[in-house]
Amino acid sequence: KLQPLLNTIMRLSLAAGLGAGLGVVFGIKAYGSLYKYLKERLQVPEGSRLSSCEPPTKSAVPTNVHWHQGAVSREERWQALGQKGVVVWLTGLSGSGKSTVAFATEQLLLGRRTACYVLDGDNLRHGLNSDLGFSPADRAENVRRVAHLCRILADAGLVVLACFISPTRAMRQHVRDLVGDIHFAECFVDAPLATAEARDPKGLYKKARAGEIKGFTGIDSPFEPPEAPELRLPTAELSLAQEVEMILSYLQSHQIVCM
């Protein structure tokens, strides 16, 4: 009886080595019995789990959903704020300094009465993305959701500073495509692996080296550096103030904010 449901709604993928905890399937506790049934029927090995479902394909989107156009245009919102919306996507290794420079930039911009907001990867996993793990499928879904959120906030006129490792070029290109016709700036927070590992503010590199974390970017999972980012911040060579100034100069030079 469950097979038609599985065939029509989603495909389930197996992610090995991610812990023995069963967690919650589909993010809803009511599906606990379904999860147990699937784990037994699919003969999932101990130490593995069923990962979160893949996002629905376009064909799964209800045909009776329509865009409701508001009476206020994007230009009118931006004019009222006196600034333009933009997405600055900070990518780099864990410990490279993405969140540090983003929050410092936010503080300076707000002090100059520029509306902005930082979207931090760890912070969003406390709420919006709390149902996602770190399998390749979950990481892709994490970034997909954030890309749509970035577009919404930037469409409202905010300077959005998004801090996500987003390790592959294809993943970051997908974000750029989803943001669409809103200004998008890829900012490579460029710290050598040795520098990021020496900082290790969360102790994650130590755990990865000890084999306690699998698939950790930079250790046993690759990071693809941007080939032509709009901004590059070599954090081992610059002070925090210099990094913030580079972002501000970029925003000013593109007439996104006026200082």
- By annotation, the residues acting in catalysis are 166
Q: Which of 160, 176, 167, 163 is nearest to 230 (CA)?
A: 176
d(CA 99, CA 94): 10
Whether the Cβ atoms of residue 244 and residue 104 lie closer than 8 Å to each other: yes
Which phi and psi angles does 123 have, rounded to 5°?
A: -60, -40
d(CA 206, CA 197): 8
Number of C-beta neighbours around residue 63 at 10 A: 6
Q: Which of 198, 188, 247 is nearest to 223 (CA)?
A: 188
Q: Helices H, strands E: what count in the chain?
A: 10, 7
d(CA 228, CA 186): 9
Whether the Cβ atoms of residue 88 and residue 247 lie closer than 8 Å to each other: yes
Who's near 245: CB < 8 A, 6+ residues apart? Answer: none
